[in-house]
């Protein structure tokens, strides 16, 4: 039970209380506790039995400390269980729809006892929402689309969620003396933006044939298991509490490489590889690369052995989508892919001036800890009122503060002045040019009016890029993975114009965005676009999430030379679109 899980349960309790019409002060206390749990650097589970230490955490009083202790001990708490029994667990799914908050869920419950996605869909089809407060035709249509999007994404999990689950489970498995190695496979290893299920391959003395019973028992005892699907001599399949299906396979070390290759996939890559093996007189399975004539093993222990036997170079997992990697590996022409260590700066982040949690100075120190040579502070502009966005006067004052911090760094790191300026509905930027001209980094992004037609949205983005002060196009499709589809956009036209104007396009590494996706990144490279990668950090801890974006760059076959912020500070600024 880590801090994120504790925070989620507290936030869900607050939502359930609000649906139930609970006291507003009580609701706020749960939300405050959820925020504290999420942001705390203290492992709450490790101090759960020490009430005095819990009380030192902001937002945690005696009553909330008791709730935390219940959560750590049982995985839930009485109030949450009571409310879920009243409304059903599926009522929380309604909150995953766009524009659906606790008050709207309460309205639907009071009016029609709607407590699930399916019940809401049935009510919409039957016209039962018409005439309800806040339920005009546009809102009903928005809910209908949200349900469609939700149903398409159900059963998928963001890359960071899957990786977090894999990391926790791996740590648990390695506590068993006879388990020596745990390797994620499947779409997680290939770095796909969302994951359907989780494959973990386990080796060690306890995984050898005839010796697996104790290890299987250890796997099946994992505390976060919700239900066990199947349990055999060398495999345990189960669901975690968040619904993610996990398959843990215990493997003999002699066939580990074949299994890792097979279960990493993709399916299309494996089919093409098996066809190559057949043409060479071999058969390839999860157990080994073997001869067709006598079944003798050719290679099995490592992936590199298998690819070498097939006269190929080993390739990074992110490339294994049957998009030309087999031919490139056979001709020894695989490109060198970018790595996180190649990056010298992060140029999109927010501070306490708007909706960030850390100061300019704290973000700079965090950049130094990551070994960066530069960062850019890019807080929101005034159109983002809910984030306390900067108007012209505050933006100028913010520039002054950024320059002061840059000077105090004394060369340890460069801190560029910047802004994430909103692209308004007509394509104009949200701040006057007189202010933008003083910014070193101007990122233009869309945060509102996602419903525009494809032609209008494309024209809007292109007009924003035509502003001579726009140097970077931020999270270009506006998507939120598993929550909001990309807005309609002619990406080819946008990338063509970006290449023509010299505007860099962003790979936003925030795991809820990963925007641009790997497909669009390939297109950007083909069109000669400048590409940057950044985290859109709102907290110093978010800087580490650059890894998720790097995987998308690798999936698109981008190397260090393809990404601008692998360059020095001076080279990076020079590579951006020249300022007027």
Which residues neighbour 436 within 8 Å (Cβ) at sequence distance 6 or greater? 419, 421, 429, 442, 467, 469
**pLDDT band at residue 498, thresholds of 50, 70 and 90?**
very high
Percent of the chain residues past pLDDT 90, beyond the cut: 74
Q: For residues 555 and 190, is the Cβ–Cβ distance under 8 A?
A: yes
Q: For residues 202 and 251, is the Cβ–Cβ distance under 8 A?
A: yes
**pLDDT band at residue 465, thresholds of 50, 70 and 90?**
very high
**pLDDT band at residue 204, thresholds of 50, 70 and 90?**
very high
Residues of the chain with CATH 1.10.150.110: 1-87
pLDDT in tens, 34-49: 888 877 767 788 888 8
- Say how many C-beta atoms besides its own lie within 10 A of residue 395's C-beta: 24
Cis peptide before 74, with omega less than 30 degrees from 0? no
Rounded CA separation 471/378 (Å): 12
pLDDT in tens, 64-76: 999 999 988 888 8
- Say how many C-beta atoms besides its own lie within 10 A of residue 490's C-beta: 16
Q: What is the CATH number of domain 340-575?
A: 3.20.20.140
**pLDDT band at residue 126, thresholds of 50, 70 and 90?**
confident
**pLDDT band at residue 1, thresholds of 50, 70 and 90?**
low
Whole-number pLDDT of residue 153 = 64
pLDDT in tens, 416-462: 999 999 999 999 999 999 999 999 999 999 999 998 999 999 999 99
The helices-and-strands tally (H runs, E runs) of the chain is: 24, 17
pLDDT at 519 over 80: yes
**pLDDT band at residue 379, thresholds of 50, 70 and 90?**
very high
Residue (of 467, 519, 533) closest to 498 by Cα position: 467
pLDDT at 485 over 80: yes
Q: For residues 313 and 307, is the Cβ–Cβ distance under 8 A?
A: yes
Q: What is the CATH number of domain 256-330?
A: 3.30.210.10
Judged by DSSP in three states, 473 sits in: strand
Q: Which fold has domain 97-154?
A: DNA polymerase; domain 1 (1.10.150)
Residues of the chain with CATH 3.30.460.10: 157-251
Task: Please report, for residues 19, 250, 453, 462, 468, the alpha-carbon distance to residue 456 in angstroms, rounded to integers and kept in the order given.
Answer: 38, 54, 5, 10, 21
Whole-number pLDDT of residue 358 = 94
Phi, psi angle pair for 465, to nearest 5°: -70, -25
Bridge partners (DSSP) of residue 423 are: 429
Computed over every residue of the chain, the mean pLDDT equals 93
Rounded CA separation 225/245 (Å): 10
| CATH for the 1-87 domain, from 3.40.1400.10, 3.40.50.300, 3.30.1220.10, 1.10.150.110 | 1.10.150.110
**pLDDT band at residue 152, thresholds of 50, 70 and 90?**
low
* Residue 99, token pair as written in the block: 């524009």
pLDDT at 411 over 90: yes
Whole-number pLDDT of residue 143 = 85
pLDDT at 205 over 70: yes
pLDDT in tens, 234-269: 999 998 888 889 999 999 999 999 999 999 999 989
Terminal-residue alpha carbon distance, the chain: 53
Mean pLDDT across 457-475? 98
Q: What is the CATH number of domain 157-251?
A: 3.30.460.10
Where b means 16+ CB within 10 Å and e means fewer, 405-416 reads bbeebeeebbbb
Mean pLDDT across 496-520? 97
Task: Please report, for residues 135, 231, 371, 372, 484, the alpha-carbon distance to residue 228 in angstroms, rounded to integers and kept in the order given.
Answer: 41, 7, 44, 45, 32
Residues of the chain with CATH 3.30.210.10: 256-330
Higher pLDDT, 162 or 144: 162
């Amino acid at each position: 039970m880590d801090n994120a899980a504790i925070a989620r349960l507290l936030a869900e309790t607050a939502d359930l209380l609000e649906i139930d019409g609970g006291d507003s002060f009580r609701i706020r206390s749960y939300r405050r506790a959820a925020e504290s749990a999420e942001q705390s650097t203290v492992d709450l589970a490790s101090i759960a039995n020490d009430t005095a230490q819990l009380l030192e955490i902001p937002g945690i009083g005696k009553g909330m400390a008791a709730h935390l202790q219940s959560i750590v001990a049982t995985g839930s708490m009485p109030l949450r269980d009571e409310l879920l029994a009243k409304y059903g667990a599926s009522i929380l799914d309604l909150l995953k729809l766009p524009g659906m908050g606790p008050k709207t869920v309460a309205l639907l419950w009071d009016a029609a006892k709607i407590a699930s996605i399916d019940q809401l869909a049935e009510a919409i089809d039957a016209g039962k929402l018409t005439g309800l407060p806040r339920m005009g035709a546009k809102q009903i249509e928005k809910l209908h689309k949200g349900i469609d999007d939700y149903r398409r994404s159900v059963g998928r999990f963001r890359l960071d969620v899957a990786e977090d689950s894999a990391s926790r489970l791996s740590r648990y498995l390695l506590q068993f003396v006879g388990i020596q190695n745990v390797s994620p496979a499947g779409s997680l290893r290939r770095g796909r933006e969302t994951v359907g299920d989780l494959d973990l391959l386990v080796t060690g003395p306890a995984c050898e044939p005839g010796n697996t019973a104790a290890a299987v028992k250890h796997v099946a005892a994992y505390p976060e298991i919700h239900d066990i699907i199947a349990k055999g001599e060398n495999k345990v399949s189960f669901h975690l509490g968040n619904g993610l299906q996990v398959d843990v396979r215990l493997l003999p070390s002699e066939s580990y490489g074949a299994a890792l290759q097979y279960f990493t996939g993709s399916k299309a890559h494996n089919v093409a590889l098996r066809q190559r093996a057949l043409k060479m007189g071999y058969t390839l399975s999860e157990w080994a690369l073997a001869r067709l004539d006598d079944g003798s093993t050719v290679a099995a222990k490592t992936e590199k052995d298998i690819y070498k036997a097939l006269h190929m170079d080993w390739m990074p997992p992110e490339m294994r989508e049957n998009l030309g990697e087999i031919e490139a590996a056979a001709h020894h022409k695989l490109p060198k892919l970018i790595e996180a260590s190649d990056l010298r700066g992060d140029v999109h982040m927010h501070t306490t001036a708007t909706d960030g949690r850390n100061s300019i100075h704290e973000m700079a120190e965090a950049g130094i800890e990551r070994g960066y040579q530069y960062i850019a502070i890019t807080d929101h502009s005034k159109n983002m009122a809910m984030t306390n966005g900067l108007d012209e006067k505050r933006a100028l004052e913010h520039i002054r503060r950024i320059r002061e911090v840059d000077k105090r760094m004394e060369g340890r790191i460069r801190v560029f002045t910047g802004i994430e300026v909103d692209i308004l509905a007509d394509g104009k930027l949200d701040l006057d040019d007189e202010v933008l001209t003083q910014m070193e980094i101007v990122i233009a992004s869309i945060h509102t009016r996602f419903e525009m037609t494809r032609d209008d949205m494309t024209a809007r983005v292109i007009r924003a890029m035509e502003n001579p002060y726009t140097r970077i196009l931020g999270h270009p499709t506006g998507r939120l993975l598993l929550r909001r589809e990309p807005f309609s956009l002619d990406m080819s036209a946008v990338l063509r114009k970006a290449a023509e104007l010299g505007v860099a396009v962003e790979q936003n590494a925030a795991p809820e965005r990963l925007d641009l996706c790997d497909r669009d990144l390939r297109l950007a490279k083909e069109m000669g676009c400048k590409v940057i990668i950044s985290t859109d950090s709102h907290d110093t801890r978010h800087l580490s999430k650059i890894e998720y974006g790097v995987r998308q760059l690798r999936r698109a076959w981008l190397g260090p030379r393809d990404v601008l912020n692998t360059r020095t500070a001076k080279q990076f600024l020079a590579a951006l679109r020249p300022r007027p």
